[in-house]
Amino acid sequence: MNELFEQLDFTEDPCYEKIIADLLERQYSIVEDFFPAGDVIALRHALLDKYEEDRFKKAAIGNRVNEVIEKTVRGDFILWLNEACANTAEELFFSKINHFVSYLNKTCFLGILHKEFHYAIYPKGTFYKRHLDTFQNDDRRKLSMVFYLNEENWQPEYGGELVLYKEEHGKECPVTIYPYPGRMVIFESQVLEHEVRPVERERLSITGWLKTS
Ligand SMILES: O=C(O)CCC(=O)C(=O)O
Ligand SMILES: [Fe+2]
């Protein structure tokens, strides 16, 4: 009986359905305005306030038990989000993410149990060389998500493109994605190598992972 009620409760979400179809077909999806413009601005301010309070640290490579700071690989600064002490903007962020994760778990049997997100700032001149979002000693990351928090007037000449290295019929086909505000990119962590091209302006984002354990 409970199961029946759950099914009746379920309403199909066209945006989430599009993401799922894209992931199945090409391992990535791009959504403009995953969050309303006002939420993007609030998250940008939250990020900048925390950056000014000096709470960010130089990003490392490897996971938390096995991390090395390597400027020739990545030059961004990060701060992990903490759902337990989220501000208003971050609460909105997590409530949407939780809704999305429960939708994925209901419809795709992905078994996402954990998530982790960090703010990121790439200062002028920095980049993140081509990599895969899984570590040698940890393959729990299933889906990578990036939310861009840049100003409205972000221009292509500012650089900072995310390049996804897709493979089609044994041939490499790079996909170039500009970090326009409100844009969300989601891709399969264990499949798609990617890089962040050098930036000419400070580049702001939230990056995170949906994990199976
Ligand atoms: O900011 C982006 O576009 C991607 C960042 C990234 O690849 C990472 O943090 O692992
Ligand atoms: Fe990455």
What is the per-residue pLDDT across 81-107, written as a single tens digit (0 to 9) for each?
999 999 999 999 999 999 999 999 999
Residue 69 located in a structural domain: yes
Share of the chain above pLDDT 90, in %: 82
Cβ of residue 56 lying under 6 Å from some atom of ligand 1: no
Average per-residue pLDDT in the chain? 92
Q: Are 128 and 195 in contact (CB under 8 A)?
A: yes
Residue 109 in domain:
yes
The predicted pLDDT at position 137 comes to 62
Which residues span the domain enclosing 119?
A: 13-211
Does 169 fall in a domain? yes
What's the mean pLDDT in 151-173? 95
Contacts of 50 (CB under 8 A, 6+ apart): 56, 79, 119
* pLDDT value, residue 2: 56
How do residues 193-202 score in pLDDT, each as one tens digit?
A: 999 999 999 9
128 lines ligand 1 (CB under 6 A): yes
Q: What is the CATH number of the domain that holds 50?
A: 2.60.120.620
Q: In which band, very low, low, confident or very high, does the pLDDT at 7 lie, cut at 50, 70 and 90? A: low
Position 17 pLDDT exceeds 80 = yes
pLDDT band of residue 109 (cuts 50, 70, 90) is confident
What confidence score (pLDDT) does residue 136 get?
A: 61
Q: What single string gives the DSSP state of each residue in 134-182?
A: -BTTB--EEEEEEEE---TT--GGGB--EEEEEEETTEEEEEEE---TT
Asked whether this complex has an ipTM greater than 0.95, the answer is: yes
Distance CA 192, CA 170 (A): 14
Examine residue 3 and state whether it is found in any structural domain, yes or no.
no
At 132, the pLDDT band (50, 70, 90 cuts) reads very high
- In this prediction, residues 3-9 reach a mean pLDDT of 59
| Domain membership flag for residue 48 | yes
**Is residue 28 included in any domain, yes or no?**
yes
Pocket residue to mutate for ligand 1, from 118, 143, 162, most atoms within 8 A of Cβ: 162
User: Is 2 within the bounds of a domain?
Assistant: no
Name the residue type at position 153: N
- Which of 195, 196, 197 best tests ligand 1's pocket when mutated (most atoms within 8 Å of CB)? 196
Pocket flag, ligand 1, residue 161 (CB < 6 Å):
no
Number of compact structural domains in the chain = 1
pLDDT single digits (tens) 34-73: 999 999 999 999 999 999 999 999 988 776 555 666 678 9
What pLDDT is attached to residue 85?
96
**What is the helix (H) or strand (E) element at residue 26, kind and residue range?**
helix 14-26
Give the pLDDT score at 72. Answer: 82
Residue 4 lies in a domain: no
Is 177 close to ligand 1, i.e. is its CB under 6 Å away?
Answer: no
Distance CA 58, CA 77 (A): 4
